[in-house]
Amino acid sequence: MMARSITAEPELTTAAPRRPAVRPKRRRNSTWVGIVGWLLGIVFFFPVLWMVITSFKTEAQAYTNTPQFVFTPTLEQYKTVFASGIWPYLANSAFATIVSTFFVLLLATPCAFALSLRPVKKTRDVLFFFISTKMLPIVAAIIPIYIAARNLHMLDNIFTLVILYTAMNLPIAVWMMRSFFLEVPGELLEAAEMDGAPLRRTVTEVILPVVAPGLAATALICCIFSWNEFFFAVNLTATQAATVPVFLVGFISSEGLYFAQLCAAATVATLPVILAGWVAQRQLVRGLSFGAIK
Amino acid sequence: MAEVTYDSATCIYPGADRPAVDALQLPIKDGEFVVMVGPSGCGKTTALRMLAGLEEIDDGSIRIDGKDMVGVPSRDRDIAMVFQNYALYPSKTVGENMGFSLKMHGVPKDERARRVRDAAKVLDLEPLLDRKPRNLSGGQRQRVAMGRAIVREPKVFCMDEPLSNLDAQLRVQTRTQIAELQRRLKVTTVYVTHDQVEAMTMGERVAVMRAGQLQQFDSPTELYDHPANVFVAGFIGSPAMNRFDGALEDGSIKVSGAALHPPEGQLRAAKGHGKLTVGIRPEHLSIGGDGELTLEVALVEDLGSDSYIYGRLAGDADSHVIVRATRDHPRPGEVVKVKVDTAHLHLFDGATGLRVGE
């Protein structure tokens, strides 16, 4: 048919044949992916589950040679943990985590904004400088840090940890936030400028609401890293400023290896992070599916 | 409302070897609807962004009501812009999107609400004022972007291909709505598009651009009837104008062996130009027994009301000919005679491409 009728074209495209032959194979593949995914998930989750289960056992039950799944749960271990003075440690951890995360976001947001939306010639170098600070293992830096903290009379001081955690998380936060800022369409900034918004209003009214999920994701990562940090805490604190990871280790040495008790303490230590992740879950998912805003 | 003047306005992107916009000269009258059109990369969007203050003016100037805009930030130019992908604020409702600029300019809340409502009424957006942009269709988003521009009552509207993300049917509909709205508001408007149909139907005057340079700035009919050069001749009009190599010989224009006899004035003007490009629009060719040209029909497009016949001149395999015909048309493979309406011949210099004669 040489004479082409333009109006007939859409019909031709909708009548394109489907290929049902491909489908069952794809479904079988996705079943396998599902099975492997679940297996991996269980492998990763099982130790956590075992920890929680053990924390409700008595010490004797925790040590039975064929592990027991059916037992009468007891809160005895938790009572011991809370009675042994975990509260100051929890408070220290919470303070160091929240305050350092606040400062990280406060510093990383304008930094990432500049590096992504107002790049200059050396932007790449600056970015690599940030990430290069993470290349030196902390062990290699601990002696100078210790001496500096001692000379400043800041050993066993919670603000030392706040400063270190802020410094530790800043590069990661800048990189994360930058990737979120890069997703902001440039036209939004131009539209705000045309609408007469000064920079401060553009950031607070236009950009921050758009990158809020990314901000939440970054905050969560910073919280997790700070909460779990052990090396600085164990080396630079003693009694006043020690955090939960230090408490956990102390628990082992002072009481001997009481397995059920340790599991209860570890569960308590894990809980805030799980809660934070659960609260931020919705924002996280939005943060990960960021391209959808357009 | 304002006069806009591009006075040798030039923009050079860093590292580029030629200007993106090269000494653009464009006087735009108060309340006029001007369309900038051209193929991608021709500098039309850059020219618009220079007016909006989103791109530097490296040389020359742009004046709004006689005031030089070089160095004046966007927010102080009193220009509203409609972006290609609308750039609506995703976290704000339709009403907040439209009222944002008023808020930034310190307009009191109740007046803001009134003006947003008025603009929403004009654009049929009233039921959508509390929705977020992500819950709108493409056409609705486009209207919100328009609403955000008109609510400000600015001196100038800048529109950067605002219809390119709409489907064909909606585009035609919105096209007339925008043109009508502009005529009613009488705000000077600069509209950028790559679609020459949009340019022809909407613009009071159209600036055709290519490679950073203005080719012609005229009314749509002038562009169509008197294209200034071969590029404009080929770009304006759909399907495009037929162009053939020709030469002046023995008092007639020779095209592929056939002698065409244009009006006396045109022949006189053609003297002294060695090679010519001869242009003739598809509607000025007709299939007929005593035609000057011989056409081998390759393809026929039937549009219902009429049809377009595509083919080659006999003896010239490289030529492309389009003839507008009635429904009663030859079949592909046939060889037919084509008659040229020589009163509508366009002649261009073969070397420079510039128009010869009237």
Dig out the tokens for A45 from the structure.
């989750």
Q: What are the residues whose beta carbons fall under 8 Å from the beta carbon of B271, sequence distance 6 or more?
A: B248
Closest-CA residue of chain B to A197: B104
Task: Count the neighbouring beta carbons within 10 Å of the beta carbon of residue B78.
Answer: 16
**Tens digit of pLDDT for each residue in B229-261?**
999 999 999 889 999 999 988 888 988 888 898
- Angle (CA) A65 A67 A70, round 5°: 135
Q: Which amino acid is at B64?
A: I
Residues in chain A with CB shorter than 8 Å from the CB of B134 are 293
Which CATH fold topology does A83-293 show? MetI-like fold (1.10.3720)
**Tens digit of pLDDT for each residue in B39-87?**
998 999 999 999 999 999 999 999 999 999 999 999 889 999 999 989 9
The strands making up B242-249's β-sheet, listed across from edge to edge, are B258-260, B252-255, B242-249, B275-280, B346-349
At residue A72, the 3 state secondary structure works out as coil
Task: Count the neighbouring beta carbons within 10 Å of the beta carbon of residue A173.
Answer: 26
User: What's the pLDDT at B330?
Assistant: 87
Cβ distance B83 to A3 less than 8 Å, yes or no, reads: no
Question: B4: which strand partners?
Answer: B28, B64
Considering only CA atoms, which of B125, B115, B138 is closest in space to residue B93? B125
Cβ distance A197 to B304 less than 8 Å, yes or no, reads: no
Dig out the tokens for A212 from the structure.
């809020």
| Matching fold, domains B4-234 and B242-349 | no
- Looking at the complex, report in whole angstroms how far the Cα of residue B54 sits from the nearest Cα belonging to chain A: 7
* Mean pLDDT within A64-85: 84
Q: Which residue has the tokens 């377009």?
A: B308
Q: What superfamily in CATH does domain B242-349 come from?
A: Nucleic acid-binding proteins (2.40.50.140)
User: What's the pLDDT at A166?
Assistant: 96
Contact by Cβ (8 Å): B35, B207: yes
For testing contact with chain B, the best of A195, A201, A206, A215 (most B CBs within 10 A): A195
Contact by Cβ (8 Å): A176, A217: yes
Question: B337: which strand partners?
Answer: B294
Report the mean per-residue pLDDT for chain B: 91
CA distance A263 to A243: 17
Alpha carbon separation from A103 to A173, A213, B143, B270, B326 (Å, rounded): 11, 18, 42, 77, 75
Query: Would you list the domain boundaries of chain B?
Result: 4-234, 242-349
Q: Which residue has the tokens 């048919």?
A: A1
Closest-CA residue of chain A to B102: A195
Residues in chain A with CB shorter than 8 Å from the CB of B75 are 193-198
Query: Would you list the domain boundaries of chain A?
Result: 83-293
- Looking at the complex, report in whole angstroms how far the Cα of residue A182 sits from the nearest Cα belonging to chain B: 15
Rounded to the nearest 5°, which phi and psi values hold at B229? Answer: -155, 175
User: What's the pLDDT at B25?
Assistant: 94
User: What's the pLDDT at B291?
Assistant: 85
User: What's the pLDDT at A293?
Assistant: 41
Residues in chain B with CB shorter than 8 Å from the CB of A197 are 75, 100-101, 104
Alpha carbon separation from B307 to A169, B32, B195, B224, B319 (Å, rounded): 69, 35, 22, 20, 20
User: What's the pLDDT at A253?
Assistant: 62
CA distance A263 to A268: 9
At residue B234, the 3 state secondary structure works out as helix
Dig out the tokens for A30 from the structure.
């996705």
User: What's the pLDDT at B194?
Assistant: 93
Q: Which CATH class is domain B4-234?
A: alpha beta
Contact status of A117 with chain B (Cβ, < 8 Å): no
Q: How many CA atoms lie within 13 A of A54 on its CB side?
A: 22
Residues in chain B with CB shorter than 8 Å from the CB of A4 are 299-302
Residue A36's pLDDT band (boundaries 50, 70, 90)? very high
**Tens digit of pLDDT for each residue in B304-317?**
888 999 999 887 88
Residue from the list A5, A193, A205 with its beta carbon closest to the beta carbon of B75: A193
Closest-CA residue of chain A to B51: A194
Residues in chain B with CB shorter than 8 Å from the CB of A294 are 85
Contact status of A27 with chain B (Cβ, < 8 Å): no
Contact status of A294 with chain B (Cβ, < 8 Å): yes
Residue from the list A6, A185, A196 with its beta carbon closest to the beta carbon of B75: A196
Residue B173 predicted with pLDDT over 80: yes
Q: What is the pTM of this model?
A: 0.78
At residue A105, the 3 state secondary structure works out as helix
Dig out the tokens for B344 from the structure.
């509508």
Residues in chain B with CB shorter than 8 Å from the CB of A2 are 299-300, 331-333
Question: B37: which strand partners?
Answer: B193, B208
For testing contact with chain A, the best of B104, B141, B153, B310 (most A CBs within 10 A): B104
Considering only CA atoms, which of B125, B118, B128, B139 is closest in space to residue B184? B118
Contact by Cβ (8 Å): A123, A245: no
Of A34-48, A53-67, A101-115, the range with the lowest mean pLDDT is: A53-67
**Tens digit of pLDDT for each residue in B271-294?**
888 899 999 999 999 988 788 889
At residue B174, the 3 state secondary structure works out as helix
Dig out the tokens for B232 from the structure.
């404009």
**Tens digit of pLDDT for each residue in B112-141?**
999 999 999 988 899 999 999 989 988 899
* Mean pLDDT within A184-190: 88
Share of chain A above pLDDT 90, in %: 43
Considering only CA atoms, which of A165, A146, A166 is closest in space to residue A156? A146
Closest-CA residue of chain B to A211: B91
A 202-241: CB under 8 A from B: 205-206, 209-210, 212
Residues of B with CB under 8 A from a CB of A: 52-54, 73-75, 79-81, 83-85, 87-92, 100-101, 104-105, 134, 148, 152, 299-304, 331-333
Contact status of A5 with chain B (Cβ, < 8 Å): yes
- Looking at the complex, report in whole angstroms how far the Cα of residue A208 sits from the nearest Cα belonging to chain B: 9
Tell me the angle at which helices A208-228 and A158-182 cross, rounded to the nearest 10 degrees. 140
